[in-house]
C-alpha cells in the first residue's frame, strides 16, 4: 500500500495500491487541475527528486518548516513552541528524517492543525512521526478529509490547542476556515496564524479573503463581516500567513482593509 500525494496540492491520500482517480481538493472550484492533468507522487519519489525540509526561525518560539524547493500549494508550515508542547500548523506535504530531527530538537510536535483543507499537507505522516499527535480538523470541513486516521479530532467554534494557542473558526474560504491566536506572539503583543483564512496583499499593508484565491471567486459581505467580528476581541500585532507576514499594525490593517472589501462588494464605491 502506498500513501499517494497529489502533485498539485501536495495533500496525502489514503494508503491504496493504486492512486485515486481524481483529487477532490484540486477538482473543487476553489483549486485547479493543471493543464497537463492529474498527477500523483509519493514521499519516496519526492525525496529522490531532491525535496527536503528546512527549518528557519521567524521570531523566538516560532519556526517556518518548509519544503524546498516549493511543493504543491507552497505554504510554509509553522512550528510554535510552548512550555506545554509544540503546535505544527499547516504541515508541509513532505517530510524527511533530517526535518523530523530538526523539529525534534526544537521540542517535537504535540498537536497538528491546519487552517483549512488546502493546507493539510502530510498531516497524518507528521502526526505519526511524533507519537500520533492529535490532528485537529474543523467538523464543518470533515467531508474534505483525504486520509482518515484515528489521530484526527473534530472541533468547532473555538479550540484551545495548547495553553496560549487558541484556534478560532472564521469560515469564508471554507466553512471551517480558522486562524490560531498566539498570545505570546510578536514579543507578547499577540499574533494570528492565518493560513489563507485571510490572504495577505502583495503590499503587505492589506488583507483580503476569497472563496477561491486562484480562480478569483469573492466572498459575500456577510462572510467578511464574520471575519471582522471574530477577530475583533483578539489582540494581535502581527499576522503570519501561509506565504507572507504582516509585521506590525496587523489588527488595524485587518479592520481597514476588510471594511474596504465590504464597500467594494456592496456597491458603495463610486465608478472610477
Ligand atoms: Zn490535489
Ligand atoms: Zn485555500
Distance 115 CA to ligand 2 centre (A): 8
Residue 105 above 90 pLDDT? yes
The per-residue pLDDT for range 28-45, each reduced to its tens digit, is 999 999 999 999 999 999
Give the architecture (CATH level 2) of 5-265. 4-Layer Sandwich (3.60)
Distance 271 CA to ligand 2 centre (A): 31
Q: Which residues lie near ion ligand 1 (Cβ < 5 Å)?
A: 6, 8-9, 23, 25-26
Distance 208 CA to ligand 2 centre (A): 13
pLDDT at 271: 84
Distance 173 CA to ligand 2 centre (A): 7
Q: What is the DSSP string of 197-224?
A: TSEEPTTSS-EE-EEETTTTEE--HHHH
- Which cell goes with 51? 525535496
Q: Which residues lie near ion ligand 2 (Cβ < 5 Å)?
A: 118, 196
CA distance 30 to 119: 13
pLDDT at 104: 98
How many CB atoms sit inside 10 A of residue 247's CB? Answer: 12
pLDDT at 106: 98
Would you kindly state where each structural domain of the chain is located, as residue ranges?
A: 5-265
- Give the confidence band of 155 by pLDDT, cuts at 50, 70, 90: very high
Please report, rounded to a whole number, the percentage of residues in the chain having pLDDT higher than 70: 100
CA distance 216 to 2: 34
CA distance 210 to 193: 17
Q: Are 2 and 17 in contact (CB under 8 A)?
A: yes
Cα angle, residue 144 at apex, residues 157 and 175 outer, rounded to 5°: 35
Residue 8 above 90 pLDDT? yes
Distance 116 CA to ligand 2 centre (A): 7
pTM over 0.85: yes
Amino acid at each position: 500500500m502506498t500513501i499517494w500525494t497529489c502533485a498539485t496540492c501536495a495533500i496525502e491520500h489514503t494508503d491504496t495500491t493504486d492512486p485515486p482517480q481524481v483529487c477532490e481538493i484540486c477538482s473543487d472550484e476553489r483549486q485547479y487541475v493543471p493543464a497537463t492533468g492529474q498527477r500523483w507522487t509519493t514521499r519516496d519519489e519526492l525525496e529522490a527528486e531532491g525535496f527536503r525540509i528546512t527549518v528557519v526561525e521567524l521570531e523566538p518560539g516560532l519556526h517556518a518548516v518548509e519544503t524546498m524547493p516549493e511543493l504543491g500549494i507552497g505554504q510554509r508550515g509553522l512550528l510554535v513552541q510552548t512550555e506545554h508542547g509544540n503546535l505544527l500548523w499547516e504541515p508541509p506535504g513532505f517530510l524527511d528524517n533530517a526535518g523530523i530531527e530538526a523539529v525534534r530538537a526544537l521540542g517535537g510536535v504535540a498537536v497538528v492543525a491546519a487552517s483549512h483543507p488546502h493546507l493539510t499537507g502530510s498531516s497524518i505522516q507528521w502526526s505519526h512521526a511524533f507519537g500520533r499527535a492529535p490532528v485537529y480538523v474543523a467538523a464543518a470541513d470533515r467531508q474534505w478529509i483525504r486520509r482518515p486516521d484515528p489521530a484526527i479530532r473534530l472541533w468547532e467554534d473555538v479550540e484551545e490547542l495548547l495553553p496560549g494557542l487558541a484556534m478560532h473558526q472564521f469560515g469564508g474560504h471554507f466553512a471551517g476556515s480558522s486562524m490560531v491566536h498566539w498570545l505570546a506572539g510578536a514579543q507578547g503583543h499577540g499574533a494570528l496564524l492565518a493560513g489563507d483564512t485571510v490572504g495577505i496583499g502583495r503590499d503587505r499593508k492589506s488583507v483580503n479573503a476569497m472563496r477561491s484565491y486562484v480562480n478569483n471567486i469573492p466572498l459575500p459581505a456577510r462572510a467578511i463581516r464574520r471575519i471582522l467580528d471574530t477577530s475583533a476581541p483578539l489582540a494581535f500585532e502581527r499576522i503570519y500567513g501561509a506565504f507572507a507576514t504582516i509585521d506590525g499594525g496587523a489588527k488595524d490593517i485587518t479592520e481597514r482593509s476588510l471594511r474596504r472589501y465590504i464597500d467594494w462588494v456592496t456597491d458603495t464605491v463610486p465608478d472610477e
